[in-house]
Structure 1
Amino acid sequence: MVILLVIIHVVVCLFLIGVVLLQQGKSADLAGAFGGQGSQTAFGPRGAANLLTKLTTYSAIVFMLTSIGLTILLSRAGGDHSVLSGTAHPTHQTTPAKK
């Protein structure tokens, strides 16, 4: 189960990177290169979400769910993982040397 979830997580991660890199920025026109806003408003026009925006949203949701699922599965499978779980030495107090 963990291996399947890791494979899905890596595929979604690579897909998310690709979809984000394919999107056009808000000021990607020539006027944006010189500081002008062109025909855009202060925060850019907010029209209907296109296919890339929807794919980004859905892949981000799947990425977060697989991250949470992996965290839960690995915490249950690992058992007791404490910082002090590897120390098998009993604590004993030493007295300082007399001078």
Structure 2
Amino acid sequence: MFYLVLAIHVLVCIFLVIVILLQQGKSADLAGAFGGQGSQTAFGPRGAANVLTRITTWCAVIFMLTSIGLTILMQKRTGGHSVLEGTGTTQSTPAKK
């Protein structure tokens, strides 16, 4: 089960990077390069969410769910042990004057 969730997580990560890089920026025209908005509204020219935006949203949701799932599965797999459980604590004594 752990490896299945891990494989889904890695695939979603790669797909999410590709989908984000394919999207056009909010001010991708020449006026946006110099900070001007022209005659656009305050929130930009984007109206309804297009297909890439919806895919990005769903990939982000799947990414978060698989991250939480991997955390839970890894905790069950290791028995909830800490990485620092086997190390001893050292206390330093104050220097004498």
The offset of 1:83, in angstroms, is 5.4
**Aligned position for 1:61:** 61
Gaps of 5+ in 2: 89-97
Q: Give 5+ residue unaligned stretches, structure 1.
A: 90-99
Q: Separation in 2 of the partners of 1:86 and 1:46? A: 55
Shift in CA distance, 76/54, structure 1 to aligned 2, threshold 3 Å: same
Letter of the structure 2 residue corresponding to residue 61 of structure 1: V
Equivalent in the alignment of 1:72:
72
Q: 1:83 to 1:15 in 2, by over 3 A?
A: closer
Q: Percent identity?
A: 72
TM-score by length of 2: 0.81
Deviations 1:41-89 (A, max 9, x none): 23313411100000000000000000000000000110141355315x8
> TM-score of the superposition, structure 1-length normalised?
0.79
Q: Distance in 1 between matches of 2:79 and 2:51?
A: 43
**Larger Rg belongs to:** 1
Distance in 2 (CA, whole Å) between partners of 1:31 and 1:80 is: 54
Structure 1 CA distance, aligned partners of 2:63 and 2:84? 32
Pairwise CA RMSD of aligned residues?
A: 2.0
CA offsets 1:7-41 (integer angstroms, 9 cap, x no match): 10000000000011111111100111122112322
Kindly tell me the number of residue pairs found equivalent between the two proteins: 89
CA distance in structure 1 between the partners assigned to 2:66 and 2:80 by the alignment: 22
Deviates more, 1:11-20 or 1:43-52: 43-52
Q: Describe how 1:35-50 pairs up with structure 2 within 5 A.
A: 35-50=35-50
